Chains A and B, each alone.
Chain A
Amino acid sequence: MTLKEVQEQIIEEFEIYEDWMDKYNYLIELSQGLPALDHKYKTREYIIDGCQSKVWLYAEMDGNIIRYTADSDAIITKGIVALLIKVMSGRSPEEIKDADLFFIDRIGLKDNLSPTRANGLFSMVKQMKLYALAYFTKQQKL
């Protein structure tokens, strides 16, 4: 699936939930399905600075693609993290670094991901793209 397609699929999934509570229940469900982050990465070094909940993010190259794993100590945040990983993980650094994440607005999570909000999620998107940019730059040099 392309970056665009996977986002459209998420938007479709969310469209069936009219009620906010159902949306959040779905995010809780998603959080439970997020593959576990290796404990050794749950350290200060991999933490994304946010005001309230903690988010840890790890990235590694697997051939030509980046694989992300992450965790959070708050469930809703972890659900949103799971969404971001679903969209971004397994793509090339070049694709990720310029990714247009239009799904955030469309599923009504803009409040959760806006840069003014005091949590780590906006920083998480930024950090994912920074990893991609770093890997991309490295690829260009080879």
Chain B
Amino acid sequence: MLDVNKIRNDFPALDQMVYGQPLVYFDNGATTLKPTVVVDTLKEIYSKRNSNVHRGIHYLSLRMTEEYEEARKRVRKFINAGSDREIIFTSGTTASINTISSTFGEEFVKEGDEILISAMEHHSNIVPWQILAKRKSAILKVIPMNDKGEIVMEKLDDLMHEGTRILAINHVSNALGTINPVKEIIQKAHKENIPVLLDGAQAIPHGIVDVQDLDCDFYVFSGHKVYGPNGIGVLYGKEEWLEKLPPWQGGGDMVEKVSFEKTIYADLPFKFEAGTANYPGAVGLAKALDYIDTLGKDRITAYEKELLNYATSRLSGIDGLKIFGTAANKISIVSFLLEGIHQEDTGMILDKMGLALRTGTHCAEPVMTRFGIDGTVRASLVFYNTIEEIDRLYEGLIKLKQMFK
């Protein structure tokens, strides 16, 4: 069992009042709060240990380089990748996806080819592929979902064929909470020789990622959604794929030898890390992953399941409340609307009650269009949230309904 009260002490941001009410932070899908150990690490680096990596021969630079490379190992272990060479540090999920859409697209996608995504993608896993499709005169195809917010697997079979170059899909939907059956999807895709990129931004904080077990070709996520710093992200790619791809951005650190006639690129993973690395971010991220492992991934998953079940049953009991995303397999996200009340009104009033929730399209407009709505209110819960906080949301919604009667 997790000792949630003890855990909450690790997140000073939870201990504050907003509009005279104790803060309830249910916007974890947008970004998670940071444990003290992560904040302290950043502070120590910037105040004592800061020095650019991979370049210097002096003490501080050598130590920082060591820490940076240790962080890479830490990430590899966390997602169970086969080699450190497969872990690229980027600025976040979006940058990671753009790296692949650009480089893979350049090398392997040609006119008339198809790129496959799903109906429940975040804009970050739609727009880069649209840009690629336009650039290469390729075609973007979309796997539909059902009314529960689950991928229609039979349609997937129809949509994959010889001309399909890549399948890019989220592991977990940010707007609905659906955990997609990605292992099965990957097996199907691989049978057709289609590589798969998984957008893991929402899956990674819930501790359910093992890239070797999934057998995905690319896996991407952001540090700030997994209790780590902003501006750091990860691109995992199978070595065999990364070797075949050209570099994306040119600059320092990604080169072996440069003359005006010819440049020899550095080996993996540095080939994809142009410019000064975000080493404080990487080390901070490693600390966050340590923190999660100390709590225990299994214990986190079990507790968050409890939160989801409680929130779902409590909110379902409110007359006129509809939950969007009722997949059998979900992480602790509850997206909902109150009948006849705009999501923005709901969000604004809850805010004044001290409850931080997200409202709107959640950067997944096509998902909203699919359900014929403008947006939802989203509560995304994690291990530092409590049953009592869900009760406060319930009571807040009851009060709010009275106001709009």
Residues of A within 8 A of B (CB): 20-21, 24-25, 28, 51-54, 73-77, 112, 118-119
Is the pair A53, B403 in contact by a Cβ cutoff of 8 Å? no
Report B26 CB to chain A, min CB distance, Å. Answer: 18
Q: Given known contacts A51-B360, A118-B360, is B19 in contact with A74 (CB within 8 Å)?
A: no
Q: Supply 19 A–B pairs (Cβ within 8 Å), ascending by A.
A: A21-B352, A21-B403, A24-B348, A24-B349, A24-B352, A24-B403, A28-B404, A52-B343, A52-B374, A53-B342, A54-B374, A75-B341, A75-B342, A75-B345, A75-B404, A76-B344, A77-B344, A77-B345, A112-B348
Is the pair B403, A52 in contact by a Cβ cutoff of 8 Å? no
Q: Given known contacts A20-B19, A21-B403, A28-B403, is B345 in contact with A76 (CB within 8 Å)?
A: yes
Report B356 CB to chain A, min CB distance, Å. Answer: 13
Residues of B within 8 A of A (CB): 19, 341-345, 348-349, 352, 359-360, 374-375, 403-404
Is the pair B403, A73 in contact by a Cβ cutoff of 8 Å? no
Report B42 CB to chain A, min CB distance, Å. Answer: 25
Cα–Cα distance between A78 and B349 once the two chains are bound (Å) = 14
A52: chain B residues within 8 A (beta carbon): 343-344, 359-360, 374-375
B349: chain A residues within 8 A (beta carbon): 21, 24, 76
A51: chain B residues within 8 A (beta carbon): 360
B342: chain A residues within 8 A (beta carbon): 53, 73-75, 77
Q: Smallest CB-CB separation from A20: which chain B residue?
A: B352
Q: Smallest CB-CB separation from B360: which chain A residue?
A: A52
Report B371 CB to chain A, min CB distance, Å. Answer: 16
Cα–Cα distance between A126 and B261 once the two chains are bound (Å) = 54
Give the most central of B342, B349, B352: most A CB within 10 Å. Answer: B342
Cα–Cα distance between A52 and B368 once the two chains are bound (Å) = 12
B344: chain A residues within 8 A (beta carbon): 52-53, 74, 76-77, 119
Q: Smallest CB-CB separation from A73: which chain B residue?
A: B342
A25: chain B residues within 8 A (beta carbon): 403
Is the pair A74, B352 in contact by a Cβ cutoff of 8 Å? no
Task: Report the 5 A-B pairs with minimum CB-CB distance, sorted nearest first.
Answer: A74-B342, A20-B352, A52-B344, A74-B344, A53-B344
B352: chain A residues within 8 A (beta carbon): 20-21, 24
Cα–Cα distance between A51 and B341 once the two chains are bound (Å) = 17
Cα–Cα distance between A51 and B352 once the two chains are bound (Å) = 20
A54: chain B residues within 8 A (beta carbon): 374
Give the most central of B344, B374, B404: most A CB within 10 Å. Answer: B344
Cα–Cα distance between A75 and B400 once the two chains are bound (Å) = 12
A53: chain B residues within 8 A (beta carbon): 342, 344
A21: chain B residues within 8 A (beta carbon): 349, 352, 403
Q: Smallest CB-CB separation from A75: which chain B residue?
A: B345
